[in-house]
Amino acid sequence: MIDAVFFDIGGTILDESREFAAWADWLGVPRHTFSAVFGAAIARGSDWQEPFRVFRPGFDLAVELERRAAAGEPEWFGEEDLYPDARSCLAALRSQGLLVGLAGNQPAHAEAILRALDLPVNVIGTSEGWGVAKPSPAFFEHVVREGGGDPSSILYVGDRADNDARPAVAAGMKACLIRRSPWGHILDIPAVSDQCLFRIDSLDELPSLVAKHNAP
């Protein structure tokens, strides 16, 4: 049985396209050029900050976030940045009596923004708030505790085979990969994908899959 479903945030429920474009503008490079370099880094399995360092050597995320905020261009997201299928999927799973949570690598300010969106979830956890980031096993230990303590009853949904599905399975959880975001389209690890309970292209597919899995 699946009793709890946790979702990665960026690239899973949150469309980061606008924010990637904002970073390209901030770095002063054409958006399509930034996207190309970003995609190449993903294909190589490189750290996600590598493309930023290509255009700004010594790039430090915390420092750049402070600079953007001081310049009146803070990193932010809102209702319009949610994928169209996100809120309805969360609500449908809640209506099945499941515990629903969000847990992803996000900075401190993201948790407050997520809470202000009033999403139909029971738990919101971030790497900044928990003091540990994916793919660390410690991050998924937090997910297990928030999900009731039994990893086998928890489904973790994410767009990344490396950061989401693989460590979730290693922690004893079930995993679902969604094919979207740059990572979802470029990064393919068959050995990980084959271990996933579900592989989907839209969150609209998930509630019925979970209900069918839990059916007597």
Q: What is the sign, positive or negative, of the torsion defined by CA atoms of 33, 66, 182, 37? A: positive
Calculate the CA 141 to chain-centre distance: 17
In this predicted model, what pLDDT tens digit does every residue of 150-190 receive, in sequence order? 999 999 999 999 999 999 999 999 999 999 988 888 888 99
Sequential pLDDT tens for the chain (216 residues): 999 999 999 999 999 999 999 999 999 999 999 999 988 988 888 888 888 999 999 999 889 989 999 999 988 899 999 999 999 999 999 999 999 999 999 887 888 999 999 999 999 999 999 999 999 999 999 999 999 999 999 999 999 999 999 999 999 999 999 999 888 888 889 999 999 999 999 999 999 999 999 998
Which CATH topology does 4-15+80-214 take? Rossmann fold (3.40.50)
In this structure, the strands spanning 198-200 and 174-178 are parallel
Q: Where are the domains of the chain?
A: 4-15+80-214, 17-70
